[in-house]
Amino acid sequence: MRSSGANGKVFKRTIEDFVCRSCGSEVRGNGYTDHCPYCLLSVHVDVNPGDRAEACKGDMVPISAELVSGDFKITYRCKRCGVVRRVVAAENDNRDILTALTANIE
């Protein structure tokens, strides 16, 4: 399924399971899963959400989190190319890590 977001980006729902390359946890994707819920590591794979068109494939590390209208927003930085992205946390994300990351708001 594709839809356009408010910023004009095309979103593609991609359902994928994966093994986290940081903590080794097995993660079941739901089509919107873009990071490990246990350690919060992500991988720089998308140009637009879900398209898997990014060639970088670097580790996206969480650098900060912010609580906005009851939802955590996680800010990531790619260790390979330096791109910064912000995503909405999932309900099953590690709350201890999210809370600790709120102290790192840039």
Residue span of the structural domain in which 57 resides = 2-104
Q: Do β-strands 2-4 and 59-68 pair in parallel, antiparallel, or remain unpaired?
A: unpaired
- Averaged pLDDT, 98-106: 85
pLDDT tens across 8-32, in order? 567 788 889 999 999 999 999 998 8
Kindly report, residue by residue over 49-78, the tens digit of the pLDDT.
888 899 999 999 999 999 999 999 999 999
As for how many domains the chain has, the answer is: 1
How would residue 5 be classed by pLDDT, with cut points 50, 70 and 90?
Answer: very low
- Three-state SS letters, the chain: CEEECCCCCEEECCCCCEECCCCCCEECCCCCCCCCCCCCCEECCCCCCCCCCCCCCCEEEEEEEEEECCEEEEEEEECCCCCEEEEECCCCCCHHHHHHHHHHCC
